[in-house]
Structure 1
């Protein structure tokens, strides 16, 4: 795997570079947009771009936009110390596929990189194209730690985020209960049915009438979020429970 890495903090950059190289990755590290000009112009030679957001001169978001304009299929992962939701959204609007908040662990970085590479497989590393990227392959539910890939979605359970992947990724912040319920559905994928009683006892610890009505509300919310991919469905088995289907 060949990685374009733009980071102006030398200590952090060396740690990340050496850690990734120790795992067999080929890293081209640049300290800013100007230093990385050749690498950025040749982004089609890379499998993924890791871009720090706060750089001297041109920031990471601007670099991301330039890369995305020429290489629509190249995965872009932003590295940022910013913590507000609006900054995360700005990253997605700039063409990013995901972001990691500093300080981060190498394990988290590697998992997110692997997820993006897997989603991009089959399109060629960063190949320029005018067509829309292919949808993520439907292979049921893929789980890596607290990251769940299914259909054209990625659930980041730890950060309560649901991302619809594509040329213009769309990220939705979930409530804790929404994320819990979606994770439970994902964990039950492949089963014939998941009973209402089981859901109520596991999430609410009570299967009374009030909580049962709450469950109905949350199921409707999730269906509205997932309707962007018709192959992902929550089926109601009246009087029994639900089936979670990823075709």
Structure 2
């Protein structure tokens, strides 16, 4: 029998939390439920979860703060935000601090399950991916690190690592913007596109030591990594 996907659900609305927990458990998930951010952080440090599903607005510690603290210990665990917020700045902030996806309330259980499965599957695939070279850099995709020659390792976030992986695999070719947004963000809407632009800017800075490497914005199509 396959091992169940282990999820931490942090949701302060008691009724909603129980509904989501029970719905996931009927679909062969194992779920721990936390009613506030502090309890969620304690559980996250004690257990080996496959993914975290975090409400943004919670007592004691909000979802964004919780995610920041989790990322100090684990750069790879998938994080999905549940939020009633719809402002561009809020969505971009969620991605920038290390979130992998978000769902606006109200949401369907089917969509949540698909997004969890996609993120968990991508994480498991990392274990079988070889080291990649780009210019003077060595990119360790499974460990999400980047190293220039003999310099210190630079840690990448989950989304930075996946975005760089696809750019390198399509080196000197245009990486279709809509395709990669749907693959990594599960959406190609305005909020996701803004978030992707932020991550591209971060990657440019982390690759800046090798002047032969460029990430070019091909207007109307996507991005191209050249070396």
Alpha-carbon deviation of 1:153?
4.7
1:135 aligns with 2:133: no
Distance 1:42 1:164, change over 3 A: farther
2:84 maps to which of 81, 85, 89 = 81
Structure 1 CA distance, aligned partners of 2:8 and 2:179? Answer: 26
Aligned residue in 2 for 1:90: 93
Aligned residue in 2 for 1:222: 220
1:35 aligns with 2:32: no
Runs of at least 5 residues in structure 1 that lack an aligned partner in the other structure: 141-146, 172-218, 231-247
Distance 1:158 1:107, change over 3 A: farther
TM-score by length of 2: 0.62
Alpha-carbon deviation of 1:112?
1.6
2:26 maps to which of 16, 22, 46 = 22
Alpha-carbon deviation of 1:61?
0.2
TM-score by length of 1: 0.58
Runs of at least 5 residues in structure 2 that lack an aligned partner in the other structure: 128-141, 146-154, 171-177, 202-216
Aligned residue in 1 for 2:6: 2
RMSD of Structure 2 on Structure 1 (CA): 3.6
Structure 2 CA distance, aligned partners of 1:148 and 1:129? Answer: 22
Which is richer in helix?
Answer: 2
Distance 1:153 1:40, change over 3 A: closer
Distance 1:91 1:2, change over 3 A: same
- Residues 163-219 of structure 1 deviation map (CA, whole Å, 9 limit, x = unaligned): 649xx8569xxxxxxxxxxxxxxxxxxxxxxxxxxxxxxxxxxxxxxxxxxxxxxx9
Structure 2 CA distance, aligned partners of 1:72 and 1:110? Answer: 22
1:50 aligns with 2:48: no
Structure 1 CA distance, aligned partners of 2:87 and 2:21? Answer: 27
Aligned residues: 171
Structure 1 CA distance, aligned partners of 2:116 and 2:199? Answer: 16
Structure 2 CA distance, aligned partners of 1:20 and 1:71? Answer: 24
